[in-house]
């Protein structure tokens, strides 16, 4: 009979990580649970949906070793409502098949399922291993993750394509596209990553990984094969199957002859687009009119009205008009950390390249739309 005492804030933080993996609607009952297992003076929490698995270890006062599974979301909801700084006593009661939680005067009894029934992801041999800073890896995820396709029929676009890009300086490169926009970012290739296969990291894994990376500034250990990837982040191990598919040859859609350059204050441009787009929430369309020293932004809708605004800018081409999905454009501008965004254009109907003036390691391509 497992019996332990654990500090509430430690348990809450771990549960906030693992319960995100658990799908609320689950056809296999045990997959709705978190596996709690002791090992000496440590306790590990494990959750999986059979595609992603997360394991987190934390210290505890363990009186009796053992393992049990408890509904993950229910346990999280309970622990979240307990007093900060309190101690939680957890006991598995074999005679009732329940788990007892005691915290101060509060007592709970939760249904459990046998730990022996809890599945474990088969771990493949991982021929490639390297370490990368959490900051660099989070940058790759955030600068590209917004462009991942949401269309399930295009399953090979439902993730970030991470690969080695060779050149004067080889880079660990991440790419995402949904067919309307493309985001590409890179960091120096870590030792051990040379020769790695190109892999597609699923959308759900990207979301959970990004949350974990945001909580640390330490090095992250990455191991991968052609089918699986494993991230070790402090006391958390996140493993995931990879998308089995071929990623399109994305470099072919990056324009090479966009000879017109527009430079604008990224924050001002974003603010202007936000204001004007209020009247095009349904169509999502806005039009940019470019001329020397000036950007004019227009939006119009038969149902919602019209709007226009303008701002100063540096533009070296002949006057032209081009339309965009304003949401896609704002998503890219949100990634620009310096003051200036650069747009490279060819004409009003061809893809546009966008770059942060201070970041040569990230590049965005946006398809125009008819407005």
Do 243 and 274 lie in a common domain? no
Same domain, 143 and 245: yes
Looking at the chain, the whole-number percentage of residues with pLDDT higher than 70 is 100
In this structure, is residue 69 part of a structural domain? yes
Question: What's the whole-number mean pLDDT along residues 140-157?
Answer: 94
Instruction: State whether 220 and 294 are in the same domain.
Output: no
Is the domain of 97 the same as that of 143?
no
Q: Are residues 64 and 8 in the same domain?
A: yes
Average pLDDT of every residue of the chain: 95
Inside any domain, residue 122: no
Whole-model pTM: value is 0.93
How confident is the model over 335-355, as pLDDT tens digits? 999 999 999 999 999 999 999
Q: What is the pLDDT of residue 96?
A: 84
The predicted structure's pLDDT at residue 313: 97
CATH label of the domain that carries residue 261 = 3.10.150.10
Q: How confident is the model at residue 26 (pLDDT cuts 50, 70, 90)?
A: confident
Domain check: are 248 and 167 in the same one?
yes
Domain final residue pick, 117, 141, 165: 117
**Final residue before a domain boundary, out of 208, 229, 252:** 252
Q: Which of 24-33, 213-222, 296-305 has the highest mean pLDDT?
A: 213-222
Within this chain, do residues 158 and 61 fall inside the same structural domain, yes or no?
Answer: no
Q: Looking at residue 25, what is its pLDDT?
A: 79
d(CA 108, CA 100): 6
**Is 123 a domain residue?**
no
Residues 7 and 113 both lie in one domain: yes
Q: Report the alpha-carbon distance of residue 149 to residue 130 in Å, rounded.
A: 28
- What pLDDT is stored for residue 17 in this prediction? 95
Q: Domain check: are 143 and 244 in the same one?
A: yes
Last residue of a domain, one of 213, 234, 252: 252
Average pLDDT over residues 261-273: 97
What confidence tens digit (pLDDT) does each residue in 49-82 have? 999 999 999 999 999 999 999 999 999 999 999 9
Q: Is the pLDDT of residue 27 over 90?
A: no
Q: Which domain holds residue 29?
A: 3-117
Q: How confident is the model at residue 242 (pLDDT cuts 50, 70, 90)?
A: very high
> Among 111-125, 138-152, 241-255, which is the least confidently predicted range?
111-125
Answer whether residue 100 shows pLDDT above 90. Answer: yes
Q: Which residue has the higher pLDDT, 92 or 25?
A: 92
Task: Provide the number of structural domains found in the chain.
Answer: 3
Q: Do 169 and 111 share a domain, yes or no?
A: no
Does residue 189 carry a pLDDT above 80?
Answer: yes
pLDDT tier at 1, thresholds 50, 70, 90: confident
Query: Mind listing the pLDDT tens digit for each residue in 111-126?
Result: 999 999 999 887 788 9
């Amino acid at each position: 009979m497992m019996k332990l005492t654990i500090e509430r804030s430690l348990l809450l933080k771990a549960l906030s990580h693992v319960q995100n993996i658990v799908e609320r609607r689950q056809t296999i009952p045990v997959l709705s649970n978190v596996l709690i297992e002791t090992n000496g003076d440590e306790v590990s929490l494990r959750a999986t949906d059979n595609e992603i698995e997360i394991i987190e270890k934390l210290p505890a006062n363990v009186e009796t070793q053992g393992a049990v599974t408890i509904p993950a979301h229910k346990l999280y909801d309970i622990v979240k409502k307990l007093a900060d700084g309190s101690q939680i006593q957890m006991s598995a009661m074999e005679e009732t098949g329940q788990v007892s939680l005691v915290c101060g005067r509060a007592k709970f009894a939760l249904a459990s399922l046998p730990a022996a029934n809890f599945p474990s992801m088969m771990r493949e041999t991982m021929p490639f291993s390297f370490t990368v800073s959490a900051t660099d890896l989070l940058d790759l995820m955030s600068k590209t993750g917004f462009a991942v396709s949401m269309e399930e029929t295009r399953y090979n676009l439902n993730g970030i394509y991470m690969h080695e890009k060779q050149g004067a300086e080889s880079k660990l490169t991440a790419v995402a596209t949904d067919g309307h926009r493309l985001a590409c970012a890179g960091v120096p290739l870590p030792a051990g990553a040379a020769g790695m296969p190109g892999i597609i990291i699923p959308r759900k894994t990207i979301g959970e990984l990004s949350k974990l990376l945001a909580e640390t500034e330490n090095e992250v250990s990455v191991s991968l094969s052609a089918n699986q990837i494993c991230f070790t982040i402090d006391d958390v191990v996140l493993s995931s199957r990879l998308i089995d598919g071929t990623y399109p040859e994305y470099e072919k859609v990056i324009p090479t002859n966009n000879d017109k350059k527009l430079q604008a204050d990224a924050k001002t441009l974003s603010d202007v687009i936000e204001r004007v787009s209020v009247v095009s929430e349904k169509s999502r369309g806005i039009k940019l009119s470019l001329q020397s020293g000036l950007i004019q932004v227009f939006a119009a809708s038969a149902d919602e009205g019209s709007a226009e605004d303008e701002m100063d800018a540096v533009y070296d081409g002949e006057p032209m008009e081009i339309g965009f999905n304003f949401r896609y454009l704002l998503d890219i501008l949100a990634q620009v950390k310096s003051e200036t965004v650069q747009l490279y254009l060819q004409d009003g109907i061809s893809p546009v390249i966008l770059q942060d003036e201070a970041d040569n390691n990230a590049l965005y391509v946006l398809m125009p739309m008819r407005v």
